[in-house]
Structures are given as C-alpha cells and as structure tokens.
Amino acid sequence: MPEPSSPPTLYEWAGGIPALQRLTAHFYERVRVDPVLATVFAQMPGDHPSHVAQFIAEVLGGPNTYSTARGGHPHMITQHLNRHLTQEQRRRWLELLLASADATGLPDDPEFRSALVAYLEWGSRLAVLNSQPGAAAVADAPMPKWDWGVPGGPYRG
C-alpha cells in the first residue's frame, strides 16, 4: 500500500516565493503612503520587500535563504531594536498585510489563513516587544517555523 503523501508546507500552499514576492511588493507600496506607517518605513531600502518575502518563506516552511544570506531570526530582531513601535502601528501593519494577501491572491481557505494570521499576530507582537527600550537580540534565537494548525507555538524540534 503506498504511503500517504505529506501535506504541502504553508510556503508551498501559498504559491512559493513568487507569491510572497507579490505580497510584500504590494504591501510595501501601500506602507510608503500610509499615514500610520509611512514614517516607520521612510528609510526602507528598495530590497526590503524581497528580504521580508524570504523571511516569511522560511517561516512557512520554504528554503532557508533568509537565514543563509541575512542571519536568520537574530538579524530580523535587530531590525526592530529601538524603533519604539506602537500597538496602533502593529494593528495597521497587520491590516495592510492581510489586505495585500487578498489583493495578490494568496489562498483564502480558512486553514491557510488561520495559520498565516497566527504567525503574523505572533510576529508583529514580538516586533513591538523587540522595538522597546532595553530589548536585545538573542544571538542564537531559532528561526520561527509555522505549520498547519500545530498547537504549541513555532519552536518545534
């Protein structure tokens, strides 16, 4: 009897790096002109959307390109240090990213969106915490790994 195939990763289900590149490009176009977020991203380099797409790809089970090229989760944390992000900015960031997911055709099935929203809520709240005075990056912080509705958080063996 053939073994059942394993389910696709969230990364595969999303459409891989092309879909995530479309998502982040669309999102950061809106961020640049958003009254709540424009100042946060005023100095954003042109390749920022691509780097964020690589990060999200890795979190959702895709290739480890971000970790290899950019330094993984510790590097992402350093990008938020001393930025003094607010809950209003976090909520707006999430709202615009989810609207971009709709606009760029990311899958809208409940299971995928539930997993995506769970990661984005967790990650955006972590970003706010890491942006406050006194926060520091942990040099060996593992890369978050998100999967289909797996309880217990992102750090699985």
Sign of the four-CA dihedral 70, 139, 84, 126: positive
What's the pLDDT tens digit per position in 3-42?
567 899 999 999 999 999 999 999 999 999 999 999 999 9
- Its domain, for residue 64, covers 10-130
Instruction: Return the pLDDT at 2.
Output: 54
**Would 101 be classed as within a structural domain?**
yes
The ranges of the chain with pLDDT < 70 are: 1-4, 150-157
pTM of the model: 0.89
Give pLDDT, residue 150. 60
- Give residue 1's pLDDT: 54
Please state, in angstroms and rounded to a whole number, the distance separating the CA atoms of residues 113 and 109: 6
Question: Does 149 reside within a domain?
Answer: no
Tokens of 57: 């790809």
Nearest Cα to 154, choosing from 15, 78, 7, 56?
56
Q: What is the pLDDT of residue 80?
A: 86
Residue 100 belongs to some domain of the structure: yes
Does residue 73 fall inside a structural domain? yes
Is 2 inside any structural domain? no
Instruction: Quote the number of domains for the chain.
Output: 1
* Inside any domain, residue 148: no
Domain contains 139: no
Q: Residue 95: which residues within 8 A CB-CB, separation 6 or more? A: none
Predicted pLDDT of residue 75: 84
Residue 153 confidence (pLDDT): 45
- Spell out the residues 6+ positions from residue 113 whose beta carbon is closer than 8 angstroms to its own: 101, 107
What is the CATH classification number for the domain harbouring 123? Answer: 1.10.490.10
